[in-house]
Amino acid sequence: MTVAGQQEVGADEEPVLHIAFHAARRPDKVAVVTSAGERLTYGELDRRTTRLARALRHRGLETGDTVAILMENNIRYLEVAWAAQRTGMRYVAVNWHLVPEEVDYVLENSETKVLFTTVAQAATVVALGTAGSLLTVSVDGPIEGCPTLEDLVGGVSDDPLPPEWEVEGTEMLYSSGTTGRPKGIRKPLTAAPPGDRSVRQVLTAEGARRIWGQDERTVALVPAPLYHAAPLIAGAMAPLRLGATVVVLERFDPRTFLEVVERERVDHAQMVPTMFVRLLRLPEEERRRHDLSSLTHVTHAGAPCPVEVKRTMIEWLGPIVSEYYSGTEDVGGTFITSEEWLAHPGSVGRPHPGVTLHILDDEGTELPPGQQGRVFMEGGQRYEYHKDPEKTASIVGPNGWRTLGDVGWVDEEGYLYLTDRASNMIVSGGTNIYPQEIENVLAAHPDVLDAAVLGVPNEEFGEEVRAVVEPAEGVTPGPDLEATLIAHCRQHLAGFKCPRAVDFVDELPRDPNGKLYKRRLKDRYW
């Protein structure tokens, strides 16, 4: 089925500019604050990123070169990103949970010339095979053999950059690697001047202003790791383009989240469903104790959200919970408000303006409403998987439409419902089973903190359904809990979809941004 994007409404013609614009106009306005209370003004952000951009140029880096960031969430993270952004470079945000071999792969594949890191990552940095071939800079203290950030920028001027240097760069993020080696998502550089409307990040900021009403009065909370696209680009870089204050949590903790929202009077929060689950697991009296009245928009993305979890969040916070479906690749996306979702529970919304949805079967034939198939999008931004033309070609369908690899269907009103990722599908006795449906049922049980469902080898049927569960705090795993959860599934699902067995783990291998590393689970069984 084909579904065209919604009409764009309320577009404001005021140009979205650049941190330098806000620094010139309101230099003492707080740009970034951490949950620990460290603060950086727009004037300071402008001066520090200018010095760092000059230092990189003095080291021989040019427009189009690549720097990498291997850090936990902190203020310096956004300084490095903006220094690269404002001088036409690419910046790679590296997942700090990766082991040295995986980090080496990302640095080599991206052709990184300078790596910025922290003392907390010293053990990884020392073990890197690429350490001798690139400059590694520690932003917060000494690491043996590495200059510090202050060494790098010492004596460098913070005078405005020459116009030929002050051009828009871009991020180059790597897919999470949940099903294989991470792939670098390379987007074109345009050498556009600061704030130019042809730049995708400028359009992202304009979208934040149009959809969520973000502006210089906004206080936007980023509780997820900055090495992911949504927290870094939509959660931090876009609000900074609008002159907002960005609040960064060093690490998500539900109690800290509530305290920071109340203390900083946060009005916008960019979240993922696992954060919802952890918040809802707090005692209700603890949740109600905090003043969250400043919140006007809570937006989530990045992973499927169980229906009952989202419904409970809306009941708690009110109709301020919105959702978007997209990917680091920017092939297109959808959006849905609380009011729309309550009328279409489980949907991820209708397409953005300029994007058209297509639901196709395995032969590439377009399907009618109600029938599920691969989700393709027409529109979106150009990109390629770095040094992997075969992977790039594999996501392109008929007429150049592209897919993120998800399976879903649309209703008669054009609302999209995701069933699962095609790569996660279980084929048992010739029947297709999608784990997400079962995971949503398990997640609704009060004894479950987190759950994953996968296919494991079965001699007769090829695969059988197996659940891997992280029990809620204080719940004892074992045969009784296994029987309870299987019975719970049988109450809500057809028998062939229910797990044959349930295994228990202390913690599922989930990225802090909500992505589940199913490959690691499957390896245990296959």
Q: Secondary structure of 203-257 in the HEC alphabet?
A: HHHHHHHHHHCCCCCCEEEECCCCCCHHHHHHHHHHHHHCCCEEEECCCCCHHHH
Backbone angles phi, psi at 270, to 5 degrees: -105, 115
**Burial of residue 381 (number of CB atoms within 10 Å: 0-12, 13-18, 19+):** middle
**Residue position matching structure tokens 């922290």:** 118
Q: How many residues does the chain have?
A: 526
Determine how many CB atoms are found less than 10 A away from the CB of residue 427: 12
What is the rounded CA–CA span in Å between residue 333 and residue 283?
35
* pLDDT value of position 375: 95
Q: What is the dihedral of CA 20, 24, 26, 29, to 10 degrees?
A: 40
Count CB-CB contacts under 10 A for residue 194. Answer: 19
pTM above 0.95, yes or no: no
CA atoms within 13 A on the CB side of 213: 8
How far apart CA 229 and CA 45 sit, in angstroms, is 21
Q: 321 φ, ψ to 5°?
A: -95, 115
C-alpha closest to that of 15 among 201, 212, 200, 242: 242
Q: DSSP letter at 414? A: -
CA distance 223 to 239: 14
How confident is the model at residue 180, as a pLDDT?
A: 55
Report how far residue 151's alpha carbon sits from residue 24's, in angstroms, rounded to the nearest whole number: 27
| Residue that the structure tokens 């704030």 belong to | 195
Helix intervals (H) in 384-492: 389-394, 435-443, 479-492
pLDDT reported for residue 277: 84
First-residue to last-residue Cα distance in the chain: 36
Residues 6 or more apart whose CB falls under 8 angstroms from that of 111 comprise 66
Digit-by-digit pLDDT tens for the chain (526 residues) are: 555 665 443 444 454 479 999 999 999 999 999 999 999 999 999 999 999 999 999 999 999 999 999 999 999 999 999 999 999 999 999 989 888 888 999 999 999 999 999 999 999 999 998 756 799 999 999 999 899 999 999 999 999 999 999 999 999 999 765 445 778 999 889 889 998 888 888 989 989 999 999 999 999 999 999 998 999 999 999 999 999 999 999 999 999 999 999 999 999 999 988 899 889 989 999 999 999 999 999 999 987 788 898 999 999 999 999 999 998 888 889 999 999 999 999 999 999 989 999 999 988 899 999 999 999 999 877 778 888 888 888 788 878 899 988 889 999 999 999 987 767 878 786 677 878 889 989 999 999 999 999 998 887 677 899 999 999 999 999 999 999 999 999 998 878 889 999 999 999 988 766 778 887 888 888 7
Q: Report residue 243 as tokens.
A: 């002159």
Residue 516 is predicted with a pLDDT of 81
